[in-house]
Amino acid sequence: MFNQKKALPHWNDLLGSSVVTADQLESLLSVNREEAQQVIDRYPMRINPYYLSLIRAPNDPIWKQAVPDIAEIYDHHRLSDDPLSEEPQSPVPNLIHRYPDRVVFLVSAQCAMFCRYCMRKRKVGVPFVVTDETIRQGLRYIQSHKEIRDVIVSGGDPFLLSDEVISDILKNIRAISHVEIIRIHTRVPCTLPQRITRELAEMLKAFHPMYINTHFNHPSEITPESSAACNMLADAGIPMGCQTVLLKGVNDTPEVMKQLMQKLLMIRVKPYYIHHPDLVRGTMHFHPSPETGLKIMDELRGHTSGLCVPQYMIDLPGGGGKIPLIPEYVIEKKKKKWLIRNYEGKIFEYPLVEG
């Protein structure tokens, strides 16, 4: 019925009805309760009713992202919890200063759904990781480092904080004159789009230039709800980007990735990065080969709008930073000409003429 107004549940109520115990999980999905318990003992689970409703079948791409897998506690590769050296590169707790002019500022350890492949598994859902004191220390650090012109507000998910706390943090960052831009990294438009309200979008407007990078991994995450959330933020004048993680069994084929990138443009989100997953303990079962990522990039470029071709990034172990991986197009560099292949694989001669 067109004019019937349903009372929609508040995002906090949705979050409060999340599946967090092995017993709850077993009552809803066909899982092994003991195995789920072993995983949850190490890494917390939270599947809110909205994200849960997107699961269509056991082990589908939504399930894989949200439901604990016993492989998380196998550790055959002896991987680190922090392979990118984020902790050594944090001059104060929860503020990563790796690059010259920008920092990642972790203001929340909570998320609307705990992604099983999370690169910050060591921190998310852990109580007392982020406190008022770590936030104050981070603000003081940014204040006293004039080279910082770009602050990436991240977590966890900053949008799990209340509007008041978010506004307070943003006011404090905006009061620092050398900060030019603020970016917010949030998965909420995908995992709990009900959190994006008119009030939130209206409040964020006061802090321009403000950018949001969100995080979608599969076309079936693009729903009427997530579309409404992204449109609300875009209507507030906030350019929206997407950081997708390449995940085995979720989005590691050119067909799925192309559909995702195209659908993102339809909800006014510009694909920014596809991340090769980081070598984090407990996430190995999600890892594809970098060749898989290169093949996907090769089947995007030229085959669809350049707007939906992001960069494919690999984050170097030890904190070396992100580097793009790009398919080879230059086949051979001769003295007078280069041989270059196009997106269809045809070879062209490009004459080297210098002015």
Ligand X SMILES: *Cc1c(COP(=O)(O)O)cnc(C)c1O
Residues interacting with ligand X, by CB under 6 A? 96, 98-99, 102, 104, 152, 322
Q: Which two tokens stand for residue 346?
A: 């045809």
- Amino acid occupying residue 259: Q
* CA–CA distance, 24 with 30 (Å, rounded to integer): 11
Q: Which residue is nearest to ligand X (CB)?
A: 98
- Smaller CB separation from ligand X, 61 or 310: 310
* Contact characters 112-141, ligand SF4, x per CB under 6 A: --xx--x-x---x-----------------
* CA–CA distance, 275 with 297 (Å, rounded to integer): 12
Give catalytic status of residue 102 as yes or no: yes
* CA 313 to the chain's CA centroid: 13
* CA–CA distance, 160 with 162 (Å, rounded to integer): 7
CA distances from 44 to 67, 199, 200, 349 (A): 11, 30, 27, 55
Q: Is 111 in the site for ligand SF4 (CB under 6 A)?
A: yes
Which of 82, 86, 157, 315 touches ligand SF4 by CB under 6 A?
157
Is 242 assigned a ligand-binding role in the annotation?
A: no
CB of 140 to ligand X, least distance (A): 19
* CA–CA distance, 336 with 19 (Å, rounded to integer): 64
Is 118 assigned a ligand-binding role in the annotation?
A: yes
Q: Is 183 in the site for ligand SF4 (CB under 6 A)?
A: no
Beta strands 102-106; 181-185: pairing state: unpaired
Active-site choice (117, 278, 281, 308): 278
Strands of 347-351's sheet in order across: 330-333, 337-341, 347-351
Q: Is 169 in the site for ligand SF4 (CB under 6 A)?
A: no
Give catalytic status of residue 115 as yes or no: yes
Catalytic residues: 98-99, 102, 111, 115, 118, 120, 278, 315, 322
* Contact residues for ligand SF4, defined by CB under 6 A: 111, 114-115, 118, 120, 124, 155-157, 187
